């Protein structure tokens, strides 16, 4: 099949400063990922404080467990008992949270988070790790602005 291949080559000393800055920006999206981390900390913290409203709303605790929890852990929200999962997702420190130049990972290594995220046969899903379209658009815009310099 016939084809045409086009290539653009720059000799280092021919690259204007503006293009060099864009090239440098394309090599390191760390600042965009730092912004995303702060947004996720706020989003996920508010999700706990607002009974899952930012993630679509959580089903209430079943009556028996809710009653037991109110006696043994008074004043704590539906998804906060020890505070370990809440703290993990509202601080985003340590493993698995990592920011590199071209990728980032955010979440929690709290083992029982998976059961809340997906639910079980005895418990409805109550998502704690999620992203909204609003933030996806914001980060895409930030990445484009960062690349452009």
Q: What is the pTM of this model?
A: 0.84
Would you state the pLDDT for residue 57? 95
Greatest C-alpha distance within the chain: 76
Burial of 104 (0-12, 13-18, 19+ CB in 10 A): middle
Confidence category of residue 22, pLDDT binned at 50, 70, 90: confident
Would you state the pLDDT for residue 6? 47
Would you state the pLDDT for residue 74? 96
Which residues 6+ apart lie within 8 Å of 145 measured at CB? none
pLDDT digits (tens, 9 = 90+) for 115-141: 999 999 999 999 999 999 999 999 999
Confidence category of residue 11, pLDDT binned at 50, 70, 90: low
Would you state the pLDDT for residue 10? 54
Would you state the pLDDT for residue 13? 61
Of residues 39, 138, 33, 40, the one with CA closest to residue 89: 40
pLDDT digits (tens, 9 = 90+) for 26-85: 888 899 999 999 999 999 999 999 999 999 999 999 999 999 999 999 999 989 999 999
Using alpha carbons, list the distances in angstroms from residue 105 to 40, 67, 100, 108.
11, 37, 9, 10
Would you state the pLDDT for residue 9? 56
SS3 letters for 103-141? Answer: CEECCCCCCCHHHHHHCECCECCCCCCCCCHHHHHHHHH
Domain ranges of the chain: 27-148
Give dist(CA 71, CA 101) in Å, integer.
Answer: 47
């Amino acid at each position: 099949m016939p084809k045409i291949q086009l290539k653009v080559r720059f000799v280092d000393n021919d690259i204007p400063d503006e293009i060099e800055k864009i090239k440098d920006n394309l090599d390191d999206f760390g600042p965009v990922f730092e912004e995303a981390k702060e947004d996720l900390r706020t989003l996920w913290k508010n999700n706990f404080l607002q009974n899952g409203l930012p993630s679509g709303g959580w089903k209430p605790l079943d009556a028996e467990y809710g009653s037991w929890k109110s006696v043994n852990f008074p004043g704590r929200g539906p998804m906060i008992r020890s505070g370990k999962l809440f703290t993990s997702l509202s601080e985003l420190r340590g493993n698995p949270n990592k920011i590199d130049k071209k990728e980032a990972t955010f979440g929690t290594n709290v083992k029982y988070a998976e059961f809340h995220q997906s639910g079980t046969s005895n418990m409805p899903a109550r998502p704690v790790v999620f992203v909204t379209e609003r933030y996806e658009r914001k980060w895409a815009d930030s990445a484009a602005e960062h690349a452009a310099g």
